[in-house]
A and B are shown apart, each in its own frame.
Chain A
Amino acid sequence: MLVEITAIIRRDKVAPTMRGLDAMGLGSMTITTVSGRGLQGGNVMTDLDREIPAEYDAVSKITRNLTPASFALVHSLTRPVFWIPKRMLQIVVPSGMKDEVVDMIMSLNRTGWMGDGKIFISPVEDSLRIRTGERGLESV
């Protein structure tokens, strides 16, 4: 039984995560450059414009549909960031190693700030190594 672990993480955490997974003997993965946004719907560069945070907090509490970034854009308040650059790692592992890998990724990527990312786990029905034609567990 195989599972696919999709981790969407910060760009600067890719190298530490790869080293950590290498140490576990899981060197193989697919890395994609993606852009993402979370429940906050983007970001606002609050460091550049001090009076914004109070204001957009109040507004986003009233109308849940308006995200901080779109509020900032409409009112030309500060520099809204709609899409935050991220890296997506996809690793296919035997389902027994799932928890171990998830713990490893979480411990290496946790900074405690919003934007640390998400991990999704989905089932994989079959897997095949093209070079040799091996299937299933021995192919990963």
Chain B
Amino acid sequence: MKMVRAIVRPEKENDVVLALEAKGFPAMTKTHVFGRGKQKGLKVGPIHYDELPKVMLMIVAEDPEVPVIVEVIKNAAYVGYEGDGKIFVTPVTESYTIRTGEKI
């Protein structure tokens, strides 16, 4: 099992969620985060923004589903400019549903 963490543009959040839902992945957690990348933020004229708002989506899925999820997010969140975001995949060894107590 893997956790896919995608940090995407806030304006692209809805596109990504709808694309995932259409592929059969309705379950996810989102949180609003601030971050910066290799460019150390954004410079607009004399003003330097070093924390840019992003949305982080977290999805836990079985290993074979991970490439599908990554592909869907990649296509839906793509704009082509710096700041499109990142996708991280980390291992999850166990997962429980609290309501039933079952282990997946």
A residues neighboring B (CB under 8 Å): 3, 7-9, 32-42, 64-65, 67, 70, 82-83, 86, 88, 102, 105-106, 109-123
Contacts and interface: CB of A to CB of B under 8 A. Distances in A.
Contact of A37 (B22, B26, B92, B95): B26
Contacts of A119: 94-96, 98
Contacts of A110: 98-99, 101
A88 B98 contact: no
Contact of B91 (A83, A102, A123): A123
B26 A39 contact: yes
Contacts, number: 87
B60 interface: yes
B91 A122 contact: yes
Contacts of B31: 32-35, 88
Given A120-B95, A121-B92, A123-B91, A34 B29 contact: yes
B92 A112 contact: no
B28 interface: yes
Contact of B60 (A70, A86, A120): A120
Given A86-B29, A118-B98, 8 more contacts: A9-B98, A34-B30, A36-B28, A82-B17, A119-B95, A120-B60, A120-B95, A121-B94
A38 B101 contact: no
A47 B93 CA distance: 38
A40 B25 CA distance: 10
Given A122-B91, A122-B93, A116 B22 contact: no
A65 B21 contact: yes
Main secondary structure of the interface of A (DSSP, over half): mixed
B80 interface: no
A38 B27 contact: yes
Given A34-B29, A120-B60, A106 B96 contact: yes
Interface in B28-79: 28-31, 58, 60
Given A67-B21, A106-B101, A123-B91, A118 B26 contact: no
A74 to B, nearest CB: 12
A138 to B, nearest CB: 23
Contacts of A88: 29, 31
